[in-house]
Structure 1
Amino acid sequence: MAGDKPRYLQDNRDIIWSLIPLVLFIVIIAGIARSCSFSPGGPTSGPVPQFDINAALTFDAAELDFPIRNPVVPDTWQPNSGSRGTASGDGGGDVSTVGYITDTGTYLQLSQSSATEEALVPWVAGDRRASTGADFYDGNSWVHYDEEGSEPIWVTDLGDVRVLVTGSGSTDEFATLATAVGQAEPID
């Protein structure tokens, strides 16, 4: 037995024999809890959570002191999330955020805020970023904040509200959402 041998005589076999009962115990507990599964082909994506984007944005429009828009996106995009927060710091303000899963399976986040662009971008990105250019969609200038290794961020100023788009979507999907935002009227 390993405990009877002097330490300098113990080898890898002793370690393996000591770990076998521990591994079996972990497998039994995981099986009882049913919190693990075996998937030899890799992970599979589950169903997209259902989220009532119309109700969420209508509620935010009634509660917040800036205009909220509900852009018309392709029918194949599924709204899956929403939240409210407050961008802090100089120029901070309330933020209404919703998310979509596009037909290609990527995620796009749409945030609308009374905060300034200078406060909103670091609040969403988690750090300061420098603008890398701009494009026009439906008459609005969208400033790009692209950084290697991070999701792109696009921001436009619609006067009394800043709109920010970020996520893992393609440039075409960003452009689709930016155009839809420009065509959307504020919710009454």
Structure 2
Amino acid sequence: MSYQKPRILHDYKDLFFSLIPLVLIAVVFAGLASQCSFSATGPTEGKIPHFDVQAALNSDARTLPFPIRNPAVPADWTPNSGSRDTITGPDGGPVSTVGYITPSGTYMQLTQSSASDEVLARSILGSRFANGTQQIGNQKWTVFAEPTEETAWIADFGQSRVLIKGAGDTSAFTTLAQAVTAAPQLSR
């Protein structure tokens, strides 16, 4: 006959020893599935995914009902993402977004839409409010800057609104704003 302790006498040591086999099994399965890796040097910078911004914006220009611009950003800016969405409700509309990684490693987002500037701002920036402006060439940009949030600039281009936001500094915003302002509308 084997002896078992009454449950009332179980303590944390018993719990610890009963969990060891489970943890070992989990580590073995994770290792077999190649889901774990160990590095003595810490995390490494990943490769930026390739995104064909030219093809994406040309497609958006053909299918979306508002003018799309493809800004000529500096050659060392790497396009890494893109998406389409729709802002529903009054003054909403389709949205085209592409993203870039700057040479300093910061992300900058370019969003174009036929939604009103107020609806576009609320959809992407939430309850933030404008607190300044920037004049880039002949284009006025409304600035949304808060200490704990990513900065954003919005401009009205007539048939479309452009929102740029990201973790970049003023120079990155100015570069992207100048490129958008100078970019012609893509043909349909």
Match of 1:150 in 2: 149
Cα distance, 1:90 vs structure 2: 1.9
Unpaired runs of 5+ residues, structure 2, are none
CA distance in 1, matches of 2:132, 2:142: 6
Mark the CA change 1:30 to 1:144 in structure 2 (over 3 Å): closer, same or farther.
same
Q: Classify the secondary structure of the residue corresponding to 1:4.
A: coil
Match of 1:23 in 2: 23
Amino acid at match of 2:54: N
Unpaired runs of 5+ residues, structure 1, are none
Q: Classify the secondary structure of the residue corresponding to 1:154.
A: strand
Cα distance, 1:123 vs structure 2: 1.4
Amino acid at match of 2:178: T
Cα distance, 1:8 vs structure 2: 4.0
Match of 1:131 in 2: 130
Cα distance, 1:128 vs structure 2: 2.1
Q: Classify the secondary structure of the residue corresponding to 2:164.
A: strand
Q: Contact 1:88–1:119 (CA<8 Å) still a contact in 2?
A: no
CA distance in 2, matches of 1:174, 1:40: 37
Q: Classify the secondary structure of the residue corresponding to 1:155.
A: strand
Cα distance, 1:39 vs structure 2: 2.5
CA distance in 2, matches of 1:150, 1:88: 24
CA distance in 1, matches of 2:135, 2:78: 25
The alignment's C-alpha RMSD in Å is 1.5
Q: Classify the secondary structure of the residue corresponding to 1:22.
A: helix
1:46 matched to 2:46? The reply is: yes
Q: Classify the secondary structure of the residue corresponding to 2:85.
A: strand
CA distance in 2, matches of 1:156, 1:86: 19
CA distance in 2, matches of 1:136, 1:100: 22
CA distance in 1, matches of 2:166, 2:71: 17
When structure 1 is superposed on structure 2, of 115-124 and 33-42 the one drifting more is 33-42
The residue correspondences of 1:1-188 to structure 2 (distance < 5 A) are 4-125=4-125, 127-188=126-187
**What per-residue deviation string (whole Å, max 9, x for no partner) do you get for residues 52-94 of structure 1?**
1111111111111211111111111110111111112221011
Cα distance, 1:131 vs structure 2: 0.6
Equivalent residues, number: 185
Q: TM-score, normalised by structure 2?
A: 0.92
Q: Classify the secondary structure of the residue corresponding to 1:179.
A: helix
Q: TM-score, normalised by structure 1?
A: 0.92
**What per-residue deviation string (whole Å, max 9, x for no partner) do you get for residues 15-64 of structure 1?**
22111111101100101110121133332222111111111111111111
Aligned residues with identical type, % of pairs? 50
